[in-house]
Amino acid sequence: MRIAMGTDHGGFHLKEDLKARLTAAGHEVIDFGTDSDAAADYPDHVIPAARAVADGTADRGVVLCGSGAGAAITADKVFRVRSTTVHDVYTAHQAVEHDGLNVIALGARVIGAELAWEIVKAFVGAEFTGEERHVRRVGKIDELDRLRS
């Protein structure tokens, strides 16, 4: 799977850890930075990562900041991206299975590396169920995207 990643300085170290683990697991990581823990604005790195998912360059996205909130809000502004902050394994897979989540946001100052890895594995391993009720609901979300574009 091709996974786009983007973060500000607050998520840099966790991004690097997750990138190494994803690569070792056989995934292709497209890294949109930041490349250090020097101050950086999350939109500068999250937007390109989200756009890569939206245009099909990447299959999924993992974005980070200190809390995960700013990264999720930013990613979700990109047309065809569905993003939310996730800090538990259940939501990581359920949001993909039922809601078509394609970009996950993590708070690097909220969760540790081991939990983050479990969350990312659940997210990457999940698939949208395609059940009629979920297709209907996601269709309503997609209509909102079309209205705001």
Question: Dihedral of the CA atoms 142, 49, 43, 13 (nearest 10)?
Answer: 130
DSSP sequence for 16-84: HHHHHHHHHTT-EEEE----SSS---HHHHHHHHHHHHHTTS-SEEEEEESSSHHHHHHHHTSTT--EE
State the pairing for strand pair 60-65/2-7: parallel
2-7 and 28-31 as β-strands: parallel, antiparallel, unpaired?
parallel
What single-letter DSSP state applies at residue 11? Answer: G
Catalytic residues: 65, 98
